[in-house]
Amino acid sequence: MINRQIHLVSRPAGEPVRDNFKLIEAPVPALLDGQVLIKHSWLSLDPYMRGRMDDKKSYAAPQKLNEVMIGGTVGDVIDSRNPAFKAGDHVVGMGGWQEYSVADGRGIRKVDTSHIPLQAFLGPVGMPGVTAWYGLNKICEAKAGQTISVSAASGAVGGVVGQLAKAKGCRAVGFAGGPEKCRYVVDELGFDACIDYKAHPDSKSLYAALEASTDFLHAHFENVGGPILDAVMVRINDFGRIAMCGMISGYNGEPIPMKFPQLILTSRLRVQGFIVSEHMDVWPEALTELATLVATGKLKYRETIANGLDAAPEAFFGMLKGKNFGKQLVKL
């Protein structure tokens, strides 16, 4: 049986390009005792992957060259020599950019698809959902009556941030790129307001848009960085919290200085970075809440689907530029 894989074969200088990747065919190895063979049905594409492609200090080791690109996957067990799994089980794991993976049982988790579509375990009921939950609850410390803003509000994480905030009785303000995404954020996701950052290219203009859309903010969830963050820092209340989840505007090496760090002092802000995989203790609580909301139709989300493993690099480039709408997936 042949397994198609995408390897990282060179590191990008700035924007990643097709030549940084190579499609490889390799045989699926025979299972050893304790191992499980999984046929992936969906691959998740996420902004963090861009950081891993660089060979520099970050929160995780760099992606190794000439190995399968890291990535979250869902799929079915098709063969098992591990008593905890049997053929037909649906599992979520970090299978990587390939059609099959072999796991030893650690790092994969069985999921129940009776009320939740399998690929949602890569989105609102998976890492992006828990990321939203953690930042909103543990760093933004959102409480009823407060106003919370979030950038990349139509994305896999941002959309959940705003909907969870609304469910708590907060006011939610989003930033998204373009009128179509902004309409979706307000009309479908139920945010109170959304600012089209493409119509407001600098922090002054973004500040004016913020001032027109909302009173002062209590907390902010950052996925983008740059002028959005600068504008938010001027429009946030004393003792505001800023959850630093992503800075996609700088992922290709662009400088994204914070213009007014003195506001951290004068407004007594707390600006804090986090990586959700370091907070596994909250996952059960967060996933339970998220699964319930998705199963009952109360948490909405959208997917952008690329077809086939070959399409993964292009879909990934598009996501870094904000071309996706909601969660970017690859159907394998």
Residues that bind a copy of itself (CB under 8 A): 51, 57-59, 225, 229, 238, 244-247, 250, 255-262, 264-275, 278
Closest CA to 275 of 158, 107, 139: 139
Decide if 189 contacts 300 (C-beta within 8 A). Answer: yes
180 or 215: CB nearest a copy of itself = 215
Is the CB of 274 or the CB of 325 nearer to a copy of itself? 274
Q: Which is nearer to a copy of itself, 2 or 265 (CB)?
A: 265
Question: Which residue type does 289 have?
Answer: E
Tokens of 110: 């069985």
Side chain identity at residue 205, one-letter code: S
Closest approach, Cβ 266 to a copy of itself, in A, equals: 5
Closer of 48 and 133 to a copy of itself (Cβ): 48
Minimum distance from CB of 316 to a copy of itself (Å)? 19
Q: Measure the CA–CA gap between 122 and 54, rounded to whole angstroms.
A: 24
Nearest Cα neighbor of 76 from 46, 124, 113, 47 is 113
CB of 272 to a copy of itself, least distance (A): 5
Q: Are 227 and 202 in contact (CB under 8 A)?
A: yes
Closest distance of CB 134 from a copy of itself, Å: 12
Strand 73-80, strand 193-196: pairing: unpaired
Q: What's the min distance (Å) between Cβ of 240 and a copy of itself?
A: 10
**Closest CB to a copy of itself among residues 185, 236:** 236
Minimum Å gap between C-beta 105 and a copy of itself is 29
Q: Transcribe 12-42 into DSSP letters.
A: -SSS--GGGEEEEEEEPPPPPTT-EEEEEEE
Strands 100-103 and 36-44: antiparallel
Residue placing its CB nearer to a copy of itself in the complex, 195 or 245: 245
- Shortest reach from residue 84's CB to a copy of itself, in Å: 32
Which backbone phi and psi does 206 adopt, to 5 degrees? Answer: -65, -40
- Minimum CB distance to a copy of itself smaller for 18 or for 57: 57
Among the listed residues 286, 278, 190, 269, the one whose alpha carbon sits nearest the alpha carbon of residue 222? 269
Rounded to a whole number of angstroms, the minimum distance from the CB of residue 202 to a copy of itself is 14
Pairing of strands 36-44, 327-331: antiparallel
Nearer to a copy of itself, 260 or 325 (CB): 260
Distances (CA, A) of 108 to 27, 92, 94: 22, 6, 7
d(CA 47, CA 58): 14
Residue 203 token pair: 């922090």
